[in-house]
Structure 1
Amino acid sequence: MDPRLERVMFVHAHPDDETLSTGAAIAAVAAGGGDAVVVTFTLGERGEVLAAAQDAVDEVGIGEVRRAELEAALRALGARGRRIHGWDDSGMAWHRSGKAQAAPDAPPTSMSRADVDDLADALGAAVEEVDPTAIVSYDADGGYGHPDHIAAHRAAVIVARRYDLPLYVRAKAAADVAFELEPVRERVLAALAQHRSQLTVDGDDVLHVGGQRRPIDTVEHYRLIETRPPRRTRWTLRIGALAAGALVGVVGTFSHQQLPWGLGLSLIAAVGLIGGIRAASGSRQLTLAAVIGLVGVVAVIAIDPLGRGAWGTERSLVPSNLAGWLWSLLPAAASLLALAWPDAEAMRRIRMAGKARTEGEKDR
């Protein structure tokens, strides 16, 4: 078995998505001796219900019914599950374009209204617990446009980037990986049968609660998507950042003595470049390249190793006056701050630690 499939995390929005969308892959990983872990964000609380399941829904609620169905389906597939708490099903309405959209009355706690970084933080906690070798989720449009699926996809992309994990998404045509239904047909059909509040199996078709009939996929195709720029692109970006830093350093060094606009604009350009790269990319390596270009140029000129003034002139370009000290020190201080600023993963840990501390104090 492909070592990347030894422990695979499947990221889904609702119960039954795991079997309808990725059932063959889940069953294949499990049947091959791997560990298939299905992470589900909601219990599909806004879903419609088939008449045969209405009594059970009236008794315990749709969320509890679908939770039990999910657990039974995962047993049939040979997988284990992990629920992410905090968000609810957005419901669904069909747009005139033929794509799904959130129900008009989707609650504030629905996935479609969630901050994707919050979703990613919660998913990241699951990644740390499971330690997967790969992640699988929906494609960028969620399969058919469902906003909860799209939110799950975006969260999976962020987490795959943070933890440097391969991310596979369902593809409509042959791509990087394929799983055939036939070797695991019995497992998948048994799992589909567990979702009796949402669908029925009719031969080789699935009949959905909304009346849609869809054939069961005989092959599931998956595409590996790049969550990080290719190595060549990353080096190009670093060289570009280095050159941009050097350019700002040279221009600022020549203009910072022109008060007040020369100094002001030079400092704004320097701090804006360093802070902007750090905020936009989140990359310390890219930020460091810009810092080396900027601060390196300023330092070499300001140190004036020959003692005759920069470029052999009698008057240094960075003299020992207020403007010179500001130009020498403020970009350096901004660089240190930008490089020391916690990255997304560190911020996640800080938020989680704060949340855990708050919850601990409430329990006392």
Structure 2
Amino acid sequence: MRGMDPRLERVLFVHAHPDDETLSTGAAIATVAAGGGDAVVVTFTLGERGEVRAERQPDVDHVGVGEVRRQELDQALRALGARGRRIHGWDDSGMSWIRSGVAGPAPDAPPTAMGMADPDDLADALGVVIEETDPTAMVTYDADGGYGHPDHVAAHRASVIVARRYDLPLYVRTDRPADVAFPLEPVRQRVLDALAAHRSQLTVEGDDVVHVGGQRRPLDAVEHYRLIETRPPRRTRWLLRAGALLAGIVIGVVGTFSHQQVPWGILLSLVAAVGFIGGVRAASGSRPMTIAAVLGVVGVIALIAIDPLGRGAFGTERALVPTNLPGWLWTIVPAAASLLALAWPDAEATRRIRMAAMSQAQQRRPDTEPTEGDRQ
């Protein structure tokens, strides 16, 4: 968001419940939209366990809390000028107050609660939205979720994983001046209209927001956001790569000396080599770290097979990698696994491939009806 033309911005705001988008990031959403950018709000749950103000109770009795809050979210997004995306599969966790202003998990959270979900599962679902919307930046809660709500914390963790996978800048809301600031005043009416839409949860009295539970807090005159580092520091990355290289060397040496022991020697050597190379690629998603692992394993095999120390080149009687079945397997299989791991597209490349395919499909069908999310 920093240093870019607002008209080119496509910002994904990641939230857990309806009304979070306005209470936490309303000024930012409205500012992006008012500046000609594309503000997309993704919501994981419908706040099914939220309390309801008395005047909205008849509607809740008729259609349920979730449907009421979904309708309110649609209205709020229209007021802010944003588009909406809904992630299905998880429900509101609820919460309990640990102390004043600090929330924690609810003792009766359902099995489908967002706060109990695997962060990688949440990230996978969020990744689908990333591929659909192709944002230039992401925004979500800080690591503590603002005040400790388990769903907010889960949204932050999933956002960090996704930002790392897709190499996207991630901004989190903070109470202190940081990297980006959005004043309320230029978009005040939009934000007030959005707050008014969430009438089952809150009301606005003067410059204060009054929540259904009676909590009162003033409207923030300025929203502050901090850009966080979702990848390890550069020095740490180099240490990890060095570790991958060293581990690869160890596997290559041990495997070379043990692969002639049939069947367990060659089997364990191949499992260790292929599993290590593939595991580094899958776990880190980093091609440089994968290259380090490959250099360690395959580099050792190649050097020993070529045998510059004179113990016998590949295929000779004295060779450590002779021309028999285990020797060929130990030479070819790790090399093939290395090529596959290095050629495998990373998340960013996959996203761009899918976005290009979607764009071409859209061009072939210019009269395609907009999705429900686009109508919001």
Residues 31 and 187 of structure 2 are in contact (CA less than 8 Å); yes or no, is this contact kept in structure 1?
A: yes
Who is 1:87 aligned against? 90
Does residue 296 (structure 1) correspond to residue 285 (structure 2)? The answer is no
Going from structure 1 to structure 2, the CA distance change for 1:343 and 1:108 (only over 3 Å counts) comes to farther
Q: Is the 8 A contact 1:44 1:66 kept in 2?
A: yes
Q: Give the match for residue 3 of structure 1.
A: 4
Cα distance in structure 2, aligned partners of 1:15 and 1:276: 38
Structure 1 residues 170 and 320: CA distance shift in structure 2, 3 A: same
Deviation of 1:102 (Å): 3.5
**May I ask how many residue pairs the two structures share in their alignment?**
348
Query: Relative to 1, partners in 2 of residues 1:292 and 1:137: Cα closer, same or farther, differing over 3 Å?
Result: same
Which residue pairs with 2:214 in the alignment?
Answer: 211
Aligned residue for 1:52, secondary structure, equals helix
Matches within 5 A, 1:1-364: 2-3=3-4, 5=6, 6-95=9-98, 99-231=102-234, 233-250=236-253, 252-253=255-256, 270-271=273-274, 273-304=276-307, 309=312, 315-320=318-323, 324=327, 327-329=330-332, 331-332=334-335, 335=338, 338-339=341-342
User: Which residue identity lines up with residue 20 of structure 1 in the other structure?
Assistant: L
Deviates more, 1:135-144 or 1:112-121: 112-121
Structure 1 residue 333 displacement after superposition: 5.4
* TM-score (structure 1 length as normaliser): 0.82
**Cα distance in structure 2, aligned partners of 1:29 and 1:160:** 20
The whole-number CA distance in structure 2 between the counterparts of 1:37 and 1:343 is 24
Give, as a single letter, the amino acid of the residue that structure 1 aligns with 2:38: D
Q: Secondary structure at the match of 1:142?
A: coil
Residues 4 and 133, structure 1, Cα contact 8 Å, conserved in 2: no
Shift of the 109–264 alpha-carbon distance from structure 1 to 2, 3 Å rule, reads closer
User: What one-letter code is carried by the residue in structure 2 that aligns with 1:3?
Assistant: M
Partner Cα distance (1:132, 1:146) in 2: 26
SS where residue 3 of structure 1 aligns? Answer: coil
| 1:235 positional shift | 4.3
Q: Is the 8 A contact 1:8 1:132 kept in 2?
A: yes
Change over 3 Å in CA distance of 1:173–1:53 after alignment to 2: same
**Identical amino acids, percent of aligned pairs:** 78
- 127 and 338 in structure 1: CA distance in 2 versus 1, 3 angstrom threshold: closer
Q: CA RMSD in A?
A: 3.4
Deviation of 1:172 (Å): 2.4
Distance 1:195 1:283 in 2: 43
Summarize deviations over 1:252-291 as a string: whole Å, max 9, x none: 5467679999878866764554344234323343122211
Deviates more, 1:167-176 or 1:280-289: 280-289
Instruction: Tell me: CA distance 1:94–1:306, structure 2 relative to 1, closer, same or farther (3 Å).
Output: closer
Residue identity opposite 1:64 in structure 2: E
Structure 2: gaps (5+ residues) = 355-376
Deviates more, 1:296-305 or 1:130-139: 296-305
1:85–1:304 CA distance, 2 compared to 1 (3 A): same
Change (3 A) 1:342 1:106: farther
Post-superposition shift, 1:105?
Answer: 2.7
Do the aligned partners of residues 168 and 130 (structure 1) sit closer, same or farther apart at CA in structure 2, a change above 3 Å counting? same
Task: Provide structure 1 residue ranges, at least 5 long, that are not aligned to the other structure.
Answer: 351-364
Preserved contact between residue 4 and residue 134 of structure 1 (Cα < 8 Å): no
Task: Give the Cα–Cα distance (whole angstroms) in 2 for the partners of residues 56 and 26 of structure 1.
Answer: 28
Residues 36 and 79 in structure 1, CA contact (< 8 A), matched pair in contact too: yes
User: Letter of the aligned partner of 1:59 in structure 2?
Assistant: H
What's the secondary structure of 1:46's corresponding residue? coil
In 2 relative to 1, CA 259–9 (structure 1 residues): closer, same or farther, beyond 3 Å? Answer: closer
Per mean C-alpha deviation after superposition, the further-off stretch among 315-324 and 175-184 is 315-324
Deviations 1:279-336 (A, max 9, x none): 43233431222112221121122133687627xxx94444456765565455445545
Residue range with higher mean Cα deviation, 108-117 or 274-283? 274-283
Query: Equivalent residue of 2:173, what SS?
Result: strand
54-63 or 239-248: bigger deviation: 239-248
Q: Distance in 2 between matches of 1:3 and 1:236?
A: 33
2:362 is matched with none
- Secondary structure, in 3 states, of the residue corresponding to 2:252? helix
TM-score after normalising by structure 2: 0.79
Counterpart Cα distance in 1 of 2:75 and 2:262: 73
